[in-house]
Amino acid sequence: MKDKKNTSPLENNKITKLADDKENGSGEFLTTNQGLKINDNQNSLKAGERGATLLEDFILREKITHFDHERIPERIVHARGSGAHGVFELYESQAEFTKAGFLNDTAVKTPVFVRFSTVAGSRGSGDLARDARGFSVKFYTQEGNYDLVGNNIPVFFIQDAIKFPDLIHAVKPEPHNEIPQAASAHDTFWDFISLMPESAHMIMWVMSDRGIPRSYRMMEGFGVHTFRLINAEGKSSFVKFHWKPLLGVHSVAWDEAKKINGNDPDFHRRDLWDAIESGAFPEWELGLQIVPEEDEHKFDFDLLDSTKLIPEELVPIKRVGKMTLNRNPDNFFAETEQVAFHLGHIVPGIDFTNDPLLQGRLFSYTDTQLLRLGGPNFHEIPINRPISPVHNNQRDGHMRQTINTSRTSYEPNSISGNDPKQATIAEGGFNSYHERIDARKIRDRSESFFDHFSQATLFFNSQSEPEKNHIVDALRFELGKVEREDIRKRMVGILTLIDASLAIRVADGLGLEVPAQPERPINHGVPADADKEKYESKIIKPSKKSINISPALSMANTIKNTAKSRMIAILATDGVNAAQLNALKKALIAAGAVPKIIATHNGYIKDDKGLAIKVDFTFLTAASVLFDALYVPGGAASVNSLLAEADAIHFVTEAFKHCKAIGADAEGADVLKAAIIPLNKNEKAPAGVIINGKSADFITAVAGHRFWEREKKPDVPA
């Protein structure tokens, strides 16, 4: 009998060859990294359909872990950011709802560090990409660090964390050519979105002007998820966190955003830095939407669904304190780049819910910091250190800085008197909320998560006409960049489920017919063995809503009463009228605005009195898109020089196109006329154009931000 030859898998022709490094999933089943076929790639493993995500979910953990380790050293998402130090001050105690110290004691000023960011782009991308913005706040409280890790949009693309790697893989640059950077206008993103109906609401927000904010200082922040507040008696309330900017919520025009990225890709970074350096400290009020636990199921949406918001008309926002950013970092890398946020950094009085997106994020963030910052001691980096003392039995590890002098690194012990010891609840020990769970282990989601379109419709209905026009234009632009017609058609079908007129207008811009019926979304994005009829009946038919319009969702209703920190371009050259210029600058500075002289050359110009005036920028080093408004003072010599300067005329033309406030003296109005701004003496000047008016009138126009009614008019120059 011959001896059996020992064969490796590669030598045995009955076993698939393993040496080929290339992989193509065409026609194959989805598997884990160990080759296990996956039955449900849509839902994490939970204790009941509305229960907590279970630690044993090895598929979720493998997928998230691999995703977290895909890129080093920059963050996979939110790579490009900017940050600042500040302080949070409480208006009145919230002890009725929470025992969190920083929300109880009005005498305490809690230090904070805030990081703003884009989501999709790399560290080298531009600030004005159409994107959601990160808005994360680290509170250095007396009870430990509390991180409120959110965005400038109150909802998200997906309902379950198991889909997060899929979402980001889709929105990142195409894998074959690494194009486009920091942009969603490409095939893979819209392919994913068109097959994931739950993304419909978020798409409306990102395609709106919220996706291109004027400044970090002029955008809202949201905690996105529903959290819990726990008071000293152990009573729980649900809460949504909001940041409301005191400067109002403002955006730029899309054409303007594209040009800003070319003129100054650091526009938002520079804006935040300069405002703080000049003493125009950015301010937000912290708002709470509080829902009693007994009211959890009274809404026509699920509080645990991160693709839904609570309309302010149903639950008003209670403003409880103010955050002021008053100090720039000393070192960008050491602070802004190394700051480590985590939703799991909480304090007594704040706790989690079973939101499946939140539950997955609680696992992901620690894993991310371990890789990005080199090991388990990232909490010892100065920007991450709590101000409360740290005592535990964790030891050693890469880049350990603490010198532990105790002989014991375990608990219980007798050698060190059993120190450090556990704290009772009365002593400030953290105690998780005692939520009853009695359910089957299951990969599924509640039917209350299935209405994907009602709030997308609510958002669109709530927008002003200019805002709706901008959403249409954004969708035409994004889908116009998609190469595959089947994706464009499928997305138009999705839009019909949001608003018929929206779908028609977008389809018209794409040269497509609106489908009689959208492609059945149940063909994708559902478990392999799902009851597809159940899914379709819930997804396609939105529920009746208790509210059809929410004015709070429109930026048209934001604060428009201040010119503080607005950048004002004053176009002037030799011979400018000194009296007008000086009076204007004085009034602008008194209003908190920032006037800058734009001239035909650097150095100094001379006014009509022969006095020197320092030039801030030339038409070569500045652009209208970098300013909020412009003014052309009088002085015949100055006006004539500007009329002969093509870049000056373009500067005015472009500012008018972007609907900005424009002012001029009677002589300076000639420059506006040359820029094709209609100034017929028998007619009223266009909205936001102030001719020969008082400085106060111009400042009021600046505070109004934009005059969108000037858009899409025949007299608006190209």
pLDDT digits (tens, 9 = 90+) for 394-406: 888 888 888 888 8
Q: What is the model's pLDDT at position 29? A: 77
Q: Please give the structure tokens belonging to residue 494.
A: 């999705």
Distance from C-alpha of 190 to C-alpha of 172, rounded to nearest angstrom? 12
Distance from C-alpha of 173 to C-alpha of 175, rounded to nearest angstrom? 6
Task: Tally DSSP H helices, then E strands, for the chain.
Answer: 17, 20
**Average pLDDT along the chain:** 90
Full DSSP string of 384-428? G--SS----S----TT-------S--SSS-STTTT-S-PPPTTTT
HSE, side-chain direction, 13 A CA sphere, residue 538: 17
Compute CA 121 distance to the chain's CA centroid, rounded to the nearest angstrom.
13
Q: pLDDT band for position 411 (50/70/90)?
A: confident
Q: Which residues are within 8 A (CB) of 706 and not within 5 positions of it... i.e. 6 or more apart?
A: 250, 251, 253, 658, 659, 660, 688
Could you tell me which of 336, 369, 375, 384 has the C-alpha nearest to residue 111? 384
Catalytic residue among 43, 78, 261, 345: 78
Q: Please give the structure tokens belonging to residue 645.
A: 């300067």
Q: pLDDT band for position 649 (50/70/90)?
A: very high
Mean of pLDDT values over 543-552: 83
Identify the helix (H) or strand (E) that includes residue 613. Answer: strand 612-614
pLDDT digits (tens, 9 = 90+) for 70-113: 664 788 899 999 999 999 999 999 999 999 999 999 999 999 99
Q: pLDDT band for position 24 (50/70/90)?
A: low
Mean of pLDDT values over 662-674: 94
pTM of the complete model? 0.90
Q: What is the model's pLDDT at position 14? A: 40
Q: pLDDT band for position 8 (50/70/90)?
A: very low
**pLDDT of 229 over the 70 cut:** yes
What percentage of the chain reaches a pLDDT higher than 70?
A: 93
601 is annotated as an active-site residue: no
Mean of pLDDT values over 315-330: 97
Q: Where are the alpha helices (DSSP H) in 196-249?
A: 200-207
The label of the residue with tokens 């938002």 reads 268
Distances (CA, A) of 297 to 223, 301, 535, 579: 20, 8, 21, 65
Residue burial 59-70, b: 16+ Cβ < 10 Å; e: rest: bbbebbeebbee
Q: Which residues are within 8 A (CB) of 405 and not within 5 positions of it... i.e. 6 or more apart?
A: none
Could you tell me which of 659, 180, 688, 252 has the C-alpha nearest to residue 474? 252
Q: What is the domain class of 455-556 according to CATH?
A: mainly alpha
Q: Are 351 and 366 in contact (CB under 8 A)?
A: no
Mean of pLDDT values over 16-41: 66
Distance from C-alpha of 275 to C-alpha of 593, rounded to nearest angstrom? 11
**pLDDT of 426 over the 50 cut:** yes
Q: Residue 216: helix, strand or coil by DSSP?
A: helix
The type of residue at 169 is H
Q: What is the model's pLDDT at position 520? A: 72
Catalytic residue among 43, 104, 151, 377: 151
20 exposure class (CB count in 10 Å sphere: 0-12, 13-18, 19+): exposed
Mean of pLDDT values over 158-179: 95
Question: How is the chain split into domains, by residue range?
Answer: 46-384, 455-556, 560-710
- The crossing angle, in degrees rounded to 10, of helices 465-480 and 485-496 is 160
Q: pLDDT band for position 682 (50/70/90)?
A: low
Q: What is the model's pLDDT at position 169? A: 95
pLDDT digits (tens, 9 = 90+) for 344-360: 999 999 999 999 999 99
Q: Apex CA 657: angle with CA 655 and CA 662, to 5°? A: 40
Lowest mean per-residue pLDDT among 126-140, 247-261, 416-430: 416-430
Q: What is the model's pLDDT at position 3? A: 46
Q: Please give the structure tokens belonging to residue 72.
A: 């080093």
Q: Residue 571: helix, strand or coil by DSSP?
A: strand
Lowest mean per-residue pLDDT among 215-224, 336-345, 622-631: 336-345
- The crossing angle, in degrees rounded to 10, of helices 500-510 and 465-480 is 40
Lowest mean per-residue pLDDT among 28-37, 118-127, 395-404, 672-681: 28-37
Mean of pLDDT values over 57-76: 78
Q: Please give the structure tokens belonging to residue 34.
A: 């160990």
Length of the chain equals: 718
**pLDDT of 636 over the 90 cut:** yes
What percentage of the chain reaches a pLDDT higher than 90?
A: 71
Pairing of strands 350-351, 227-230: antiparallel
* 560-710 homologous superfamily: Class I glutamine amidotransferase (GATase) domain (3.40.50.880)
Q: What is the model's pLDDT at position 537? A: 67
Q: pLDDT band for position 438 (50/70/90)?
A: confident
Answer positive or negative: Cα dihedral of 147, 149, 154, 156: negative
Q: What is the model's pLDDT at position 634? A: 95
- What residues form DSSP beta bridges with 380? none
Residue of higher predicted confidence among 685 and 706? 706
pLDDT digits (tens, 9 = 90+) for 496-518: 999 999 999 999 999 999 998 88
Q: What is the model's pLDDT at position 692? A: 80
* 46-384 homologous superfamily: Catalase core domain (2.40.180.10)
Q: Where are the alpha helices (DSSP H) in 155-242?
A: 164-171, 187-194, 200-207
**pLDDT of 571 over the 90 cut:** yes
Mean of pLDDT values over 36-46: 82
328 is annotated as an active-site residue: no
Q: How many CB atoms lie within 10 A of CB 275?
A: 22
Residue of higher predicted confidence among 370 and 212? 212
